[in-house]
A and B are shown apart, each in its own frame.
Chain A
Amino acid sequence: MIVAARIFFVGGLTSFRANWYWLTPWIYIPTMLIAPLFQILLFAYIGKSAGLESNEFYLIGNALQYASIPCLFAMAQMIGGERFQNTLSAILVSPAPRIPLFFGRSLPVILNGAFVAGFSLAVGALILGVRFPAGSIAPLALVVLIAALSCTGLGLVNAALSLRIRENAVLSNVIFGFLLIFTGANVPLDALPGWMSTLAQGLPFTHAIEAARQLAAGASLGDVADLLGAEVLVGAIYGVFGYLLLRWFEVLGRKHASLERS
C-alpha cells in the first residue's frame, strides 16, 4: 500500500517534472496563460460579429475547453517524453503496479489543467467585464477541477495511442479541435446537428461547461449535481478505457519490439 502510494505521488510528480523540464516560464506563460485569453477574446468577438450569445457564454466555454491543451498534451508526453529520453522501456519493464504508475502521472496533469482553466476564467472575466455571483465562485472552482479530471481521462486514451502513433502532437491537436466544436464551448448544443449534440454527451467538458453556465446564471451546486455526476462518469469511463488500452498496447509493444519506435 505504501509502495503504491509512493509510486502514485512521488513517481507522478517526478515524471511530470522530468517530462516537462523544458516548460520554463518563457514557454508556460505564452502557451498556458495568454493563449487561452486570446481564444476567449477571439470567440467572444466572433460571437458579437455573428450576433450569437454573450461574452459570458464564450468566456466559460473557452476557459474550460482550453484545459484540454495541458491535459491532452501532458498525458501524451507521459509516453512521448519517456520515449524521447529513452526511459520508456525501463519504466515498462519495472514490476511497479500499473494503476498507481499511470494514474499517479495523471494527478499533476489534472491540477495543472485546472489551474490553466481557472486562471483563464478569472482573468478573462476581468477583461470582458463578466461578473459571477459571489456564491458561485467555489462551485465554479469545483467544476473547473472536475472538467480537468474528466479531460485527463481522455488524455489517458491519448497517452495509450501514443504508444502506437508517433505524431502525438498532431493527434492532441486533432482531439482539441473536436472538443472545440462538439462540447458546446462555442456553439449551443441545440444549434448543432442532432448526431453531434448526442455525441457531445459522451465527451469531456460538455456537462461541465453547461454546469458552469448554470452556476454563473445563479443556480446552486445542488442544481447542477447531475451534470457534474455525468462529467465525472464520462471522465472515469475514458480513464478506465485509457488504462486498459495502455496495458494492451504495452503488451503489443513488447511483442512487436516497438516501444522505442520514434
Chain B
Amino acid sequence: MKTIRFVAVSWLLQFKMIMRSPFDGIGNVLYPLFFATTAFFVFRAGDSPRTLIYASLGAAVMGMWSSVSTSAGSAMQRERWWGTLELLVVAPRHFVLVLLPSTLGLASVGIYNLVATLLWGRFAFGIDLTIEHPFLFALAVVVTVLSFAGLGLLFAVSFVRFRAAWVLGNFFEYPVWLIGGFLVPLALLPAWVHPISWVLAPTWGMSAIRGAALGGHPLRDALVCLGLGAAYVAVAVLVSQRVLRAARERGTLSLT
C-alpha cells in the first residue's frame, strides 16, 4: 500500500512538472500533431484501401510514443543536472521505484496526445471514429501507457552513462514510428524487421488499440504488451543495479 501511495504521489508531482514544462508539456504534444497532419493529408490523397481512421489511430499512438521517447531517455540525466540524483540514489526506496513515476508521468501525457490527435482528426479532417469496444479500448490505452513507461524506464537507466542521453531518446522516435505498425503495416516492411517489431511493446499496444477501436480481438495483444512492459521494468532493475554500482565505484554519479 505504501509503495502504491509512493508511486501515485511521485507520479502526480512528475506530471505537474511535465505539464509546466514548455518542451515536454507543449512541444512534445504539438510536435507529433504536425506528423499526424501530414499523414492525414497523405492518406487522404492516396488510393489505398487503408482509411483515415487507420491513420488517425496510428498517428494518435505515434504521439503517445513521442512523449516518452524524447524525454524518458534523459529522465535520469535531468536529475543529474538538477543535482538531485545523489539524493534519489541514497533514498531508502529502490531507485527504479523512484524513477518509474517520472517515465510514467511522461507516458501519461501520451493520453493527452492520443485524445488531441483523435480530436484534431475529427474536427480538422472529419475523421469520424466510432469505438467498437469502449471498455477494451480504455484498457488497451492504459496497458499501452504502462508498457511505454516501462520502456522509457529502461531507456532512462540504460542511457545514463551517455552524457548526451537526450540524443538517444530522440533517436528512437522515428524508428519506432516506422516499425511499430502505427502508419505502416508490418507486412510492408522487410522480413528481418518483423522480429524487432515483435519485441517492442508499442507494436502490440498499437495493435490492441486498433483492434479495440475497429472491432478486432485486442486482449491477446494487450496482454503481450503488458508482459513486455513488465519485462522492460525487470531488465531496468538489473541494469540500474549495475549502472549505480559502477557509478559509485568510479565516482561518476554526478558526471555531467
Residues on A lying within 8 angstroms of B by beta carbon are 22, 24, 26-27, 30-31, 34-35, 38-39, 41-43, 45-52, 166-167, 169-170, 173-174, 176-178, 180-181, 186-188, 191-192
Contacts and interface: CB of A to CB of B under 8 A. Distances in A.
B38 A191 contact: no
Interface string B162-205: 11100110110011011000011100110000000000000000
Interface stretch (B22-30, B130-138, B210-218, B237-245): B22-30
Contacts of A48: 184, 188
A207 B205 CA distance: 40
Q: Chain A: interface secondary structure?
A: helix
Given A31-B167, A31-B171, A174-B27, 19 more contacts: A27-B167, A42-B174, A43-B42, A45-B189, A47-B42, A47-B46, A50-B42, A50-B48, A50-B55, A51-B46, A52-B42, A52-B45, A52-B48, A170-B22, A170-B30, A178-B34, A187-B38, A187-B45, A191-B44
A47 B46 CA distance: 8
Interface of B: 22-23, 26-27, 30-31, 33-35, 37-39, 41-48, 50, 55, 162-164, 167-168, 170-171, 174-175, 177-178, 183-185, 188-189
B171 A181 contact: no
B174 A38 contact: yes
B214 to A, nearest CB: 16
A46 B55 CA distance: 10
Given A24-B164, A42-B174, A173 B30 contact: yes
Contacts of B33: 177
A170 B29 CA distance: 11
Contacts of A188: 45
Contact of A45 (B22, B30, B188): B188
A30 B50 contact: no
B111 to A, nearest CB: 21
Nearest to A38: B174
A138 to B, nearest CB: 30
A186 B38 contact: yes
Contacts of B46: 47, 50-52
B93 to A, nearest CB: 32
25 contacts: A22-B164, A26-B163, A30-B171, A35-B171, A35-B174, A38-B174, A39-B174, A41-B178, A42-B177, A43-B42, A45-B178, A46-B183, A49-B50, A50-B50, A51-B47, A52-B42, A52-B47, A52-B48, A167-B23, A177-B30, A177-B34, A177-B35, A180-B38, A181-B34, A181-B38
A180 B184 contact: no
Contact of B22 (A38, A41, A167, A191): A167
Given A26-B162, A52-B47, A169-B23, A186 B42 contact: yes
Nearest to B27: A170
B188 A49 contact: yes
Contacts, number: 111
A26 B183 contact: no
A166 B45 CA distance: 38
Interface core residue of A24, A34, A173 (most chain B CB under 10 Å):
A173
B30 A26 contact: no
Contacts of A27: 164, 167
Contacts of B48: 49-52
A91 B21 CA distance: 30
A31 B173 CA distance: 11
Nearest to B49: A51
Nearest to A23: B164
A99 to B, nearest CB: 32
A226 to B, nearest CB: 26
Nearest to A176: B34
Given A170-B26, A187-B42, A38 B178 contact: yes
The 10 closest A-B pairs by CB, nearest first: A177-B34, A50-B46, A52-B46, A38-B174, A51-B48, A191-B45, A170-B27, A187-B41, A45-B184, A167-B22
A42 to B, nearest CB: 5
Contacts of A39: 174
A176 B35 CA distance: 10
Nearest to A51: B48
A187 to B, nearest CB: 4
Contacts of A170: 22-23, 26-27, 30
A25 to B, nearest CB: 10
A52 B164 CA distance: 37
A166 B183 CA distance: 34
A178 B33 CA distance: 10
B174 A46 contact: no
